[in-house]
Chains A and B, each alone.
Chain A
Amino acid sequence: MSDNERIAVDVRDVVKRYDDFTALRSISLSIADNEYFTLLGPSGCGKTTLLRMIAGFEHVTEGTISLFGDDLENLPPNKRPVNTVFQNYALFPHMTVLENVAFGVEMNGESKTIARQRAGEMLELVQLSQFLARKPNQLSGGQQQRVALARALAPRPKVLLLDEPLSALDLKLRKAMQLELKHLQRETGITFIFVTHDQEEALTMSDRLAVMSAGEIQQLGAPTDIYERPHNMFVADFIGETNLLEVSVDRIAGGRAVCHLRGGHEVICPAVDGIGPGSKVHMSIRPERLWMSKSPEESLSFCGCVKENIFVGTDITTLVVLDDGPDFIVRTSNSDRGNRRLFESGSEVVVNMEPGAARLLAD
């Protein structure tokens, strides 16, 4: 985020405590106008609590949340120019689709005519014009999802909050909705704050994301940043699949850390702040940056034996038991089958590592 962009939502040192439980410990983050921002984390990490505090359903124990510079603290939910897409959609069951979408516009002070007109436009945008007169329970899950989206967008909020809105949809529909959401965000220019526990969803859709766990932000950055350069064990493990190896750091020189694995292999990787010589830490190697061969093809390679090949569609995941040291997961693209990158289980193989693939992780 560059400095000249306007900040839509500014969260400063926010703490949320319930009676004897701290849900959020001093969270600070800034979300830019027009940004598609994702809060990602396992259940119970506090991401939904943070979203509900921005919406106004929960009070802030300490710290401030401001929207385009205005402190939100004393504004009730109905005075905040933000709208929410709820996880269970919360469509009003006694109203038609059109009435549902028009509701917020009308409550916001527009006339009934304008509200209906705007609702009609929004429903066109989400391609539900033919269902105006239906009741929500006469729609499929995916259609209800789109009504919920239209309803939240119709009053033209400054920020749209989405609380795991796709979690109830099946995989195929979810993928389609991910694209649709992304397009809607570009079209409307509204800032989206999206909460999910699905790391793939977060990586696909977000401009930036915050990975949260135990009430804290573990890492904040662009999807590629977080995937390629995880800061710590939690992020490396939570985002995608990875090989975590114990290493000892021998020395650090010129921004490079020279480490060795338990089996004695030497690995050189970029130095990380806070990890000095002598530390025993973990190293992450993504499985797609490893490949198998009959004889060593890289300076860093490990000998082992194929235990299992698991077919996952586009890729094949191979579990390799190393002769000395931990097991490795190696991912081979399905298109590499012809290139003899795959070996039967039981075969002796060499696992080669791409230079620069290893990342040191803080605990």
Chain B
Amino acid sequence: MRAQFDIKTYTGFRAIALVCLFILYAPLIVVAVYSFNASQSLTNWEGVSLRWYADVFTGPESGKFKQAARNSFIIATVAATVATAIATLAATGMVRGGRFKLRSLSFGLISLPIMVPEIVLAVATLIFFSSIGFDRGIMTILLAHIAFCIPFAYLPIAARMQGIEHSYEQAAQDLYATKRQAFTKILLPLMMPGIISGFLLAFIVSLDDFIITNFVKGAGVETLPTAIFGSVKQGIKPNIMAISTMLLGVSIVMVTISFFVSKADAIR
């Protein structure tokens, strides 16, 4: 019975799956492979070499990229941490807060920034900062990133929390734990896989953001995406591919962590 309804037996399943996988991953594979090209050219293959990786760290643009990478990682780490903390509190309030007025509206409002076109958010954030006279610099980038990372951190945390039955906290309180102890000793550890996923998602979204960053960054402050964009404007060189491949590596590490966290999950 099962084999009969298995989607793998549908006509064209294999072909469609292969096309989808090709479209998704071919560009990434091309970039990753050509980052090891020994040639100056983007398209001619002249053998394996690490010269473009060396170029990223020691070449003429290395100073700019190092500074940009440092900014990006600091911003991503701080923004993801703060956003995750806020999102955890928000999820606790929304999911464990019982019924309150405007609950559905609040749900919508929290996830709205994901739906809004990013350019609108970027313009709005810029106007906001200039209207309160906030000088643009690394702080404006950080604040903007914290704000738009919250919904990304919120979604996995809230989803996780909805899967945790009330009876765990009730059991904890029944067993003489105060409300605070029930939260820190029971609810928080059970939420942890969601919190880690939320943090990783926020981290990647922040690391990767270009549009908002480009609007709110001050002169001379660059993150990796804006630095790459600036460099590409003067012509694409293979060192861009090396940077991109390293960023891809960071993402893969994050996704792998996320996978093992959910696999070690006690509830499932």
Contact = CB atoms under 8 A, between A and B. Distances in A.
A94 B178 contact: no
A155 B167 contact: no
A88 B165 contact: yes
A90 B173 CA distance: 12
B41 interface: no
A248 to B, nearest CB: 51
A86 B170 contact: yes
A94 B266 contact: yes
A107 interface: yes
Contacts of A76: 173
Interface stretch (A77-85, A124-132, A268-276, A288-296): A77-85
Interface in A43-90: 55-57, 76-79, 82-84, 86, 88, 90
Contacts, number: 66
Given A94-B266, A135-B266, A84 B171 contact: yes
A86 B171 contact: yes
B266 A137 contact: yes
B176 A108 contact: yes
Contacts of A152: 174-175
A238 interface: no
A55 B178 CA distance: 15
Contact of B170 (A77, A79, A109, A155): A77
A56 B177 CA distance: 13
Interface in A215-247: none
Interface in A109-130: 109
A55 B174 contact: yes
A93 B176 contact: no
A104 B190 contact: no
Identify the interface centre among B165, B266, B267: most chain A CB within 10 Å of its CB.
B266
A79 B176 CA distance: 6
Contact of B177 (A82, A83, A94, A107): A107
A92 B168 contact: yes
A78 B178 contact: yes
Nearest to B188: A94
A103 B167 contact: no
Given A92-B186, A93-B267, A86 B177 contact: no
B189 interface: yes
Given A90-B165, A94-B266, A137-B266, A107 B171 contact: no
Contacts of B190: 92-94
A103 B172 CA distance: 8
A151 interface: yes
B266 A90 contact: no
A82 B181 CA distance: 18
A77 B165 contact: no
B171 A78 contact: no
A56 B174 CA distance: 8
A26 B266 CA distance: 43
A4 B168 CA distance: 39
Given A107-B181, A135-B266, A137-B266, A90 B171 contact: yes
A107 B165 CA distance: 21
Contacts of B174: 55-57, 77-78, 82-84, 104, 152
A357 to B, nearest CB: 45
Given A93-B190, A93-B266, A93-B267, A78 B168 contact: no
Nearest to A135: B266
Contact of B167 (A79, A83, A88, A151): A88
Contacts of B168: 90, 92
Interface in B131-148: none
Contacts of A84: 170-171, 174
Nearest to B192: A94
Nearest to A81: B176
Contacts of B177: 78, 103, 107
Nearest to A86: B167
Contacts of B178: 78
Interface string A136-155: 01000000000000011001
Nearest to B268: A137
B175 A107 contact: yes
A84 B189 CA distance: 22
Interface string B148-186: 000000000000000001011011111111100100011
Contacts of A135: 266
A109 B177 CA distance: 10
B7 to A, nearest CB: 29
Q: Which 3 A-B pairs have the closest CB atoms?
A: A104-B175, A93-B266, A107-B176
Given A78-B177, A103-B172, 6 more contacts: A78-B175, A83-B175, A86-B171, A90-B167, A94-B266, A109-B176
19 contacts: A56-B174, A57-B174, A77-B173, A78-B174, A79-B176, A82-B174, A84-B171, A90-B167, A90-B168, A90-B170, A90-B171, A92-B186, A94-B190, A104-B175, A107-B181, A108-B176, A137-B266, A151-B175, A152-B174
